[in-house]
Structure 1
């Protein structure tokens, strides 16, 4: 695709965004249900395309160019497609974030200021191998009234094309151009320079990739980076619970960013906890590494300094024995990626200390890190998990794809009235109210 073609697609998305923002929630939700229906009705078409991606991925895995984790993330199944359709319907059923009054303040009698939720506009996305990411991002963009530029990885190109085509076919009543698919790496560089047309970029990938995007654009970037997540088994943990939580966090689906990569164990329970835990991991095929203190208790390979900051995305795990809660916190803050961390303990005070001390988007008590997910959080879905602190953090759902503007409803009010020697004071009173277009003049358009 030429630069001009990419620019045309972005321009079309910009035009569509203005129209999309005017659609009411019933229209946007109906379009989402149509997408879910299309996915359910086209299993064979999608799976045939996906089989081509997986076959090519296996060849590149054998050639040493792809990892097993990447190929596993590519693979779709009939049950996964059912889950994707359910996810789209869940997004459709979420509360409409647009036109929602976030706050209301009376500046004076008949002079009322409303803070109202609105779409961001045009969102550019670049995401990794999972084909379901395309559907999640498109669904959340549509529900939140945003036009979206979709750039998936070449490893999922067959699946992405079919899913994109089905989405466009199912949303014929939505303004043309609201979703655009681009495929070449050069298209990404074109997008980076279009700061007048694109309102937000959302890259999903490695820290290096997200940093590249941030360093080469003036567009605001909401980055989804790697997940180096931890589970800390505290001295006061229920060890049976800890075993289940640590197992689920690693083994349930190891290829995703909310899977645990490092297990921290308090020294006072290490001898009781680690032998049975490691037997269970070994039975599941997990490759294990540990620090010197861990290897005094169990026989495993040594962990390196690099292991503490590695997102394996596979059945691999590093283990460290720590002598205190403070040491666990310090390790997490030094080596984690600010994604998701969990403590297993029966001591509420220690749990609170851990959760307040950890700098991460999500911190859990007695729960698997795998819960860090937009669907599981009740957000319908997510466009990614933001490990930053500005605008949106953690699983980014509809709220993270909206901004706000101020609507002021008056009745001929003048600033001069509130200035000068005889200035009238402002009331500045918060009140419980909803913005109704044109209600001061008796109606809207």
Structure 2
């Protein structure tokens, strides 16, 4: 990994050249590079955490003055118990995964001694623009190397000390491998994002890792394909036959496990029939964890009847904008789903919940809590999100939890890759034909016919 202060075009050009070399490295060489990077980062833990502490000090000052959101401060902290170890484990997990390159996904005999193959290959050069999370460098480096892609990384100023410390360690480690240093570059120069976004001649895919404004800005200012998501507007729906204990566990974890994450629940939909039965227990569990409950009139009225007066006094009134808000904090908006009967639908209330999610969610991850398998399957088929769950926390939307080793991000795109994007999402494919001198002009009306035989 090179710490480059060169021009964006020079950085992109050298990354493009390095990508061609990396794409043909054997998997043994790519895995060896990951082992050496892992060892180097393990040894340098204290040095990197010291750099991260400097970033945290400045970030806390900025947060206190109102110039940096608290959610970014939380994402910046590498000293959080287990976070550094998770970063290291992610590298090992990627190393242990099968080689994603040169995998044959289709074989067809076009004619005798003329065979077509579709095989996986790297995308090329990735541009990753990210805010706050310093572990992204290790994640991206591991995924890019294993998938044969070069990567250019541009981090936010709030974590510059951490980025540079991690980059120095990885750069030194790469000198001991067959991976060229220019294959993974951290751009230090400020105010270069606009220039990088114009380099579609060299850069093949942009992956923004940050807040809504960053992602929208990137999508509006580049011709390069963009993989990512703007918001994490995730919902949990408590159906009329939800199990009370499962409801409590799923909702509390979805909201409280890591509120600043994009897969944390921001909206709680509740069937009207369980407003006074299941919701109060869920609400008390959330209040006990310090969650602010932002309620519509029906849910607020029901909770005021069922909760102690001290808890009921904490309830807030929701506006329509709350159901389009990514709080990234200990807040959740509650909305009632009417108990509607409609002869044209076997479960009209479920359709209303699904309609609300499809209208307000960011197509990230949404969950239903129900004991009715048919309702669950219908929900998971009808909700238009990258992740749809039944009786499970939205926090499972994660590359490591999916077994992808780690991820470059969550994609809500409808093309190429969707959901947590790991190794497979960083490959594309090419077609190969092996023949013995055949030409296309030999085939067609009145000439030779193709066999088009599918092969294993």
TM-score, normalisation: structure 2: 0.92
Aligned to 1:292: 297
Aligned to 2:366: 341
Shift, 1:137, TM fit = 1.5
Aligned to 1:239: 244
Q: Please say if 1:144 is aligned against 2:147.
A: yes
Q: Please say if 1:390 is aligned against 2:436.
A: no
Separation in 2 of the partners of 1:256 and 1:54? 18
Identify which of 107, 110, 116 aligns with 2:110. Answer: 107
Aligned to 1:304: 319
Query: Do the aligned residues in 1 keep the contact of 2:52 with 2:78 (CA within 8 Å)?
Result: yes
Shift, 1:176, TM fit = 2.7
Query: Do the aligned residues in 2 keep the contact of 1:214 with 1:221 (CA within 8 Å)?
Result: yes
Distance verdict in 2 for CA 1:385–1:64, change over 3 Å: same
Aligned to 2:345: none
Aligned to 1:438: none
Separation in 1 of the partners of 2:364 and 2:82? 28
Q: Please say if 1:322 is aligned against 2:337.
A: yes
Identify which of 62, 65, 68 aligns with 1:66. Answer: 68
Shift, 1:3, TM fit = 9.3
Separation in 1 of the partners of 2:215 and 2:402? 24
Query: Do the aligned residues in 1 keep the contact of 2:100 with 2:424 (CA within 8 Å)?
Result: yes
Shift, 1:2, TM fit = 11
Aligned to 1:431: 455
Identify which of 250, 253, 259 aligns with 1:254. Answer: 259
Separation in 2 of the partners of 1:198 and 1:67? 31
Distance verdict in 2 for CA 1:242–1:116, change over 3 Å: same
Q: Please say if 1:415 is aligned against 2:440.
A: yes
Segments of 5+ residues of structure 1 without an aligned counterpart are 433-445
Query: Do the aligned residues in 1 keep the contact of 2:247 with 2:282 (CA within 8 Å)?
Result: no
Aligned to 1:277: 282
Deviation readout 1:130-165 (Å, 9 max, x if unpaired): 111221122111110000000111111111111111
Question: Root-mean-square deviation (CA), in Å?
Answer: 1.5
Shift, 1:266, TM fit = 0.8
Distance verdict in 2 for CA 1:185–1:340, change over 3 Å: farther
Shift, 1:6, TM fit = 1.9
Identify which of 210, 215, 234 aligns with 2:220. Answer: 215
Aligned to 2:393: 368
Deviation readout 1:211-258 (Å, 9 max, x if unpaired): 322222111111232200001011111111110000000111111000
Deviation readout 1:321-358 (Å, 9 max, x if unpaired): 21221221111111100000000111011111111111
Aligned to 1:435: none
TM-score, normalisation: structure 1: 0.94
Query: Do the aligned residues in 2 keep the contact of 1:204 with 1:225 (CA within 8 Å)?
Result: no
Separation in 2 of the partners of 1:104 and 1:2? 43
Shift, 1:271, TM fit = 0.5
Moved more, 71-80 or 195-204: 71-80
Moved more, 256-265 or 37-46: 37-46
Identify which of 84, 89, 103 aligns with 2:87. Answer: 84
Shift, 1:30, TM fit = 1.0
Separation in 2 of the partners of 1:319 and 1:419? 63
Shift, 1:185, TM fit = 4.7
Query: Do the aligned residues in 1 keep the contact of 2:128 with 2:207 (CA within 8 Å)?
Result: yes
Q: Please say if 1:358 is aligned against 2:383.
A: yes
Distance verdict in 2 for CA 1:329–1:315, change over 3 Å: same
Shift, 1:79, TM fit = 2.5
Query: Do the aligned residues in 1 keep the contact of 2:4 with 2:11 (CA within 8 Å)?
Result: no
Segments of 5+ residues of structure 2 without an aligned counterpart are 304-311, 339-348
How many residues are paired up? 431
